Structure 1
Amino acid sequence: MKTAVGKSAFGGIAIGKISVYQKGEHQVKRIRIQDADAEMDRFYHAQAEAKKQLQDLYEKAVNEVGEANAAIFEIHQMMLEDTDYVESVESIIRKQEVNAEYAVAETCDNFAKMFASMDDEYMQARSADVKDISERVISILLGKDSTMAGVSDEPVIILADDLAPSETVQLDKEKVLAFILVNGSVNSHTAILAKTMNIPAIVCTNITLDKELNGKLAAVDGFEGKIFIEPESELLAVMESKLKDLQEKQKLLEELKGKENITLDGQKVLVYANIGNVGDIGSVLKNDAGGIGLFRSEFLYLEKDTYPTEEEQFAVYKMAAEMMAGKRVIIRTLDIGADKQAAYFNMDQEENPALGYRAIRICLTQKDIFKTQLRAIFRAGVYGKIAVMYPMIISLNEIKQIKEIVAEVKEELTSQNIPFDKEMEQGIMIETPAAVMISDCLAKEVDFFSVGTNDLTQYTEAIDRQNPKLDDFYDPHHPAILRMIKMTADNAHKAGIWIGICGELGADLEMTEFFLSIGIDELSVSPSRILPLRKRIRETNVGEIVDKLGWCM
């Protein structure tokens, strides 16, 4: 047995034979030409044909992976028309008096190296896009077929050096068990397409692209980023068991997909997902979540060495909105501090950081950081259904300050003629006893509540949830917590706003009946917990459980 490892681009388990895919390398010769105008005509003809092929791919992808994920092929069409790209090709043809194929290949090399040398991982991944469009144009110029031939007649694990988005879409996904790429990137469009197609994918693997691997049995653990070639019987049995569990989960998904989360006696509740970045959206879509109830935006800050710019944040929020295609995406503003630290914030050492300088307290005292994020969020709202949520609120004065800053942001965007969502929903997290006790007043000032049960439990029970010595004392089912949640829900509904749960308690199936009985409108959980929660909701009769919970009703 041989074991290889790589980076997980999308989780899953696959067992099957390997099919090695090696691209046919185009041998581009440098040929001196006499008529530069004629050579440019050849390039323009190939460019037009490439755009037509990409439009066909776009239409195919729309049907298979949705409009947001098919957009890469529109981007590729625009890249083909990019002024810098076209001017580079023309300059090489005219100044070096060479054929169009060579000019395109040289331009491809130069642009690919430029993107690959950039610090930003997203921009590095664009190197593959340049290669993809250039290979397509060269194929047309050489009179060769640029379509991808069928890899196999039976379902296989594709092993390749890398795959372009066009190659991925052309594959029959019913015949693909998993992708293993020697190179590639977790941020590439191919990785995003793999997620949307629900196919396990591992990139940057330490495996040799060897034809001798063709037909050999392999087991792929997309969660761990591991590939087992010719696995031993014991390991194979473990992987088969994992695969069976996933297939049962998939069966449940098929039974629930498209159906409302409605109890036996007709009560509806929204089931959303908690995520840390756009890379998680594949799991959100795979598990058929109704939306995103908690987008932890602080990961944008924690993954960098300096403050993310407005444009960097806008690109991420916009992508999330587009990928969710009209479903609500609730972005929590920067919630850094306590157990989440970024060195460049230069925060002082605190004896009790959980009760210290964190979340909205940072945003209200460092307004430039806050305004940059709000500008990005409100701008991205034009591209989908985004809502914004403010963490660690304890007073009406904080709501007042937030509204003043939001008004400044809206005024600036308006004066700069920058489109933004003028009617975006704005909510707050209820995660302190103070917020609970004045929730009747807070509810009149916002569009929704989301209860962060993790911190609410910590602050109510005076227990540091990061301290393992206190695990036996930490009780998220404590009557005080449940009464606080009910009080908050009652005050929300009296004010005519909706309320959700975004803490870990939302995924606790022992609590589902309680949440339904007090009228919680939305439950947001990790993507892997969505299906069991939806199943429990659809099996519950709320009317029958109210008597059991009479003490807190």
Structure 2
Amino acid sequence: MFETHPDSELGSETEILKGKTISPGMVQGIVHVHHSFLDLPDIPPEAISLNDVEKEFSRLNAATTRVSDDLAALVLRVAEEVDSSLAEVFGAHRLILNDPALREELRREITENLVDASTAVRHVFRRWEKRFLLMESQIARDKSDDLRDVSVRLYNALVGITANPLEEIPSGCVLATSRLLPSDTIFLADRSVAAVLLEYGSFGSHFALFAREMALPCISRLSGLSDIHREGALALVDGSTGIVTLRPTCRQIDQFEKKVRTLAKSLGRAQAHAMEPAITRDGVSIAVLANVGFCQDTENAMRNGAEGVGLYRLEQAYLGRLEPPSAEALLADMRQTLAAAKGYSVVVRLLDVGADKPLPFIEFASESNPALGCRGVRILKEYPELLKTQLRAILALSQEYDVRLLIPMVTLAEDVMVVKKHLLALCGELNITTPPQLGAMIETPAAALSARQFAGDVDFLSFGTNDLTQYAFAADRENAAVEPYFNDADEVIFRLMQLTHDDVPEIPLSLCGELAGRPEQVARVLQCGIRTLSVAGPLIPAVKEAIRHSNCLVSAVTKPQRS
């Protein structure tokens, strides 16, 4: 969507584009139009003889190993430079690449059709993409992007392509393109791109998550970006409003730069007070903790004023492994990750995986809709040894840290009781008289509405508003078609949090979803009785500053308005 305005000051025509905010931020730069090359080349098959089959097998194996090693290195790089939770994306890509069924189908393609390995990759991955696109589950359909990413990597390794098309992008430009894959986004970090404008892309996609963690301003749903006349135009990108101004007037530039300076001053003030407590105007102290997965997350968070760890994800210790870690290995991983938070409270969430985030050592049943299937605590109940290994490691950690235990995807009181039973049994076995505090994730409407049923068995509750929104509105956050329904700041979500607080007012409540990291929503969150926020490390200063300008109590005059 765009509007045009005559520009008498600059002698050209100003163009206003309105899209959907993917990642906030305000920047200006010169537009570079990039035509995406995401499709594998459609060239005639390269025929081989029977004598060449083993040679192609060897080429395929060598390329697979090379790409697998590259992805393993990328997991570590993303965890260090961007965010540990997003490193899961490339861990999943590595699992796809090494999937036995996929590798077997590639070998069959070479043997039965006598084609070279690169041709086999083109044919087989296209079939797999089509299978995912035809599935009923939107989560499964969205996996086609991951398959495309892996197929491009493997094909390039086979044909010797080492250059990324994005290498030609000018540093500091405003990149305009149709869409981007997760690996493209990471590559942009090296190019110092000012902002990204997309024709296609949803708020909950892997790319969007990367862009926000990289603080890369991004706006999507902008049609006609490939028009050549936009190449080289000056663009003012306002990620907070989703507005792009092309070929602005001098007055528009001045107004934009004034807004940028005001924003920078506000952020600088927040950073200067990051290490100070966050106390509301009406005198309530709010704990601001960090979401972490790797040691770099924890170190960054503590430098930004975190008062502890509110969500430590165990997935990083499991993804990419061919067998589960032992309790000793898991403990060593946790010690390394949490070293910077020694002396502070730490909330460890039990492994949260399922058919949408598979592990190679667990045989997941095929599900038409993994989001509504076996995941989180449901998997742990089905595999008690997997649960007990985690509990042993966490109990050992609790002898060194102030550890609290969090159960993912709680829906029924039984979900809590199963974990608590194993926890108390292990405490008895290990002669631990004081078990760690136990908490439940509130990620489903059922959990929010039935908190009374398991309140007596937990010490705290933590809202995961990303999933809570998804289930409340029956809107997959990865599905652009239903994106208007996915609004984690809707009054419905605040009502669910408020109802939970009203039902169990004696239970401490925390929030660790993306909603917790948005300063403009902090006041409304606190008014629901939540007194602990857990966010990504870089967001801590701004969240603390927002708390200092908020009240916990709702005045009789000013009632909460709908979002």
Q: 1:59 aligned to 2:69?
A: no
Which residue in the other structure is 1:19 paired with? 32
Which residue in the other structure is 1:228 paired with? 245
1:14 and 1:177 in contact (8 A); partners too: yes
Q: Provide the secondary structure at the position in 1 that maps to 2:61.
A: helix
Q: CA–CA distance in 2 between the matches of 1:196 and 1:108?
A: 30
Correspondence for 2:187 among 170, 178, 186: 170
Identity %: 23
Q: 1:9 aligned to 2:22?
A: yes
Q: Provide the secondary structure at the position in 2 that maps to 1:209.
A: coil
TM-score norm. by structure 2 comes to 0.54
Trace 1:87-486 onto structure 2 (pairs within 5 A): 87-147=104-164, 149-152=166-169, 154-172=171-189, 175-257=192-274, 259-261=275-277, 269-271=286-288, 328=347, 375=377, 387=406, 406-407=416-417, 424-425=438-439, 447-448=459-460
Structure 1 pair 221–51 and aligned structure 2 pair: CA distance change class (3 A): same
The Cα shift of 1:193 comes to: 0.9
Q: CA–CA distance in 1 between the matches of 2:546 and 2:290?
A: 16
Q: Provide the secondary structure at the position in 1 that maps to 2:248.
A: coil
Q: CA–CA distance in 2 between the matches of 1:506 and 1:22?
A: 37
Deviations 1:294-326 (CA, angstroms, capped at 9, x unpaired):
9xxxxxxxxxxxxxxxxxxxxxxxxxxxxx999
Correspondence for 1:522 among 531, 536, 558: 531
Question: How many residues align structurally?
Answer: 387
Q: Provide the secondary structure at the position in 1 that maps to 2:27.
A: strand
Structure 1 pair 107–196 and aligned structure 2 pair: CA distance change class (3 A): same
1:148 and 1:171 in contact (8 A); partners too: no
2:523 and 2:547 in contact (8 A); partners too: no
The Cα shift of 1:194 comes to: 0.7
Structure 1 pair 56–2 and aligned structure 2 pair: CA distance change class (3 A): same
| Structure 1 alignment gaps of length 5 or more | 275-283, 295-323, 332-369, 391-401, 416-420, 429-438, 452-483, 513-519, 540-553
Which residue in the other structure is 2:477 paired with? none
Q: CA–CA distance in 2 between the matches of 1:131 and 1:371?
A: 25
Which shows bigger deviation, 91-100 or 121-130?
121-130
1:122 and 1:188 in contact (8 A); partners too: no
Q: CA–CA distance in 2 between the matches of 1:165 and 1:236?
A: 32
2:520 and 2:546 in contact (8 A); partners too: no
The Cα shift of 1:88 comes to: 2.3
1:371 and 1:405 in contact (8 A); partners too: no
Q: Provide the secondary structure at the position in 1 that maps to 2:194.
A: strand
The higher relative CO (CA closer than 8 Å, separation ≥ 6) is in 2
The Cα shift of 1:17 comes to: 1.1
Q: Provide the secondary structure at the position in 2 that maps to 1:270.
A: strand
Q: CA–CA distance in 2 between the matches of 1:130 and 1:136?
A: 10
Q: CA–CA distance in 1 between the matches of 2:460 and 2:56?
A: 62
Q: Provide the secondary structure at the position in 2 that maps to 1:424.
A: strand
Q: CA–CA distance in 2 between the matches of 1:171 and 1:86?
A: 30
Q: How well do the aligned residues superpose, as a CA RMSD in angstroms?
A: 5.5
TM-score norm. by structure 1 comes to 0.55
Q: CA–CA distance in 2 between the matches of 1:146 and 1:269?
A: 49
2:129 and 2:147 in contact (8 A); partners too: yes
Structure 1 pair 126–246 and aligned structure 2 pair: CA distance change class (3 A): farther
Structure 1 pair 223–538 and aligned structure 2 pair: CA distance change class (3 A): closer
Which residue in the other structure is 2:330 paired with? none
Q: Provide the secondary structure at the position in 2 that maps to 1:8.
A: strand
Which residue in the other structure is 1:80 paired with? 97
Q: CA–CA distance in 2 between the matches of 1:377 and 1:48?
A: 30
The Cα shift of 1:200 comes to: 1.7
1:328 and 1:387 in contact (8 A); partners too: yes
Correspondence for 1:33 among 45, 48, 68: 48
